[in-house]
Amino acid sequence: MYAIVKDNNITQYITNPKSVVIGDVRYPAKIFQLWSKSEKEAIGIYEIVIDQTNYKDPEYYVNTNEQHNFADGKVTKSWGTATPKLLEDRDEVWSQEQIDNGNAPDGTSAGDPHLDSDGNQIVTKGLKSQKKQIIKNQASGLLAPTDWYVVKATEVTDYSVPANITTFRSNVRAKSNEMETQIDACTTVDELKNLYTRDENGIRPLAEFPKEVV
């Protein structure tokens, strides 16, 4: 990605190489591949340098204040301090600002619960709940192919679920519960993120489901 700088100000961003007009001259897209860094900078085209000092994994953080600056002969893209995403579930309540802006029902006071059309508390799910729901879905997907064994055992008197199937299904449920317990124990977003971080051997702290029926 490039930026065009004129009089020490960024005037245009170029995501992909294309024909550009600088001053009274149109330059073809091929200059981005053929010209040297110094040649491009001589006409005001600078490759953007990414400063990820404050940038954090967007799965767990909200990266704020994205900005581009031109200084010391280079254009830098950087971010402000990242904000951790919501870890725990949060019951939504009406704020005074929402009330003042007319977004809340008549008669609402600051701190009153925000209810849906059926009168139920609106809850914003935190990362813990989101991750646990993924685990539940994964467990369900692993169990589904062998559900028919269990159904058959309830409908056919002289049929029993094979021992290896029973063991597999028990192991899936046990690992699902173990993972949810590990997630519940996290007190910070970084602790949760670290559960999913694999080491050089590809091993993560979070438990793993059995791969297949043995």
Whether residue 214 lies inside any domain: the answer is no
Higher pLDDT among residues 214 and 176, named by residue: 176
Residues 6+ apart with CB under 8 A from 18: 29
Task: Look up the pTM and report it.
Answer: 0.82
pLDDT tens-digit readout, 140-160: 999 999 999 999 999 999 999
Q: How far, CA to CA in Å, does 22 sit from each of 1, 3, 36, 76, 122?
A: 17, 12, 17, 21, 53
Q: Are residues 77 and 6 in the same domain?
A: yes
Position 213 scores a pLDDT of: 81
Residue 121 C-alpha from the chain's centroid? 25
Position 165 scores a pLDDT of: 96
Confidence of residue 211 (pLDDT cuts 50, 70, 90): confident
Position 214 scores a pLDDT of: 72
Whether residue 213 lies inside any domain: the answer is no
**Mean predicted confidence (pLDDT) in 198-203:** 95
Q: Are residues 120 and 144 in the same domain?
A: no
pLDDT tens-digit readout, 93-140: 999 999 999 999 989 999 999 999 899 999 999 999 999 999 999 999
Q: Are residues 49 and 106 in the same domain?
A: no
Whether residue 110 lies inside any domain: the answer is yes
Whether residue 200 lies inside any domain: the answer is no
Whether residue 212 lies inside any domain: the answer is no
**CA separation for the pair 94, 102 (Å, rounded):** 11
Position 74 scores a pLDDT of: 95
Q: Are residues 169 and 135 in the same domain?
A: yes
DSSP assignment string, 117-177: TTSPBPEE--HHHHHHHHHHHHHHHHHGGGHHHHHHHHH-TT----HHHHHHHHHHHHHHH
**CA separation for the pair 101, 85 (Å, rounded):** 26
pLDDT tens-digit readout, 18-37: 999 999 999 999 999 999 99
Domain that holds residue 109: 90-124
Whether residue 7 lies inside any domain: the answer is yes
Q: Are residues 105 and 77 in the same domain?
A: no
Average pLDDT over the chain, rounded to an integer: 95
Question: Is residue 191 predicted with pLDDT exceeding 90?
Answer: yes
- Total structural domains within the chain: 3
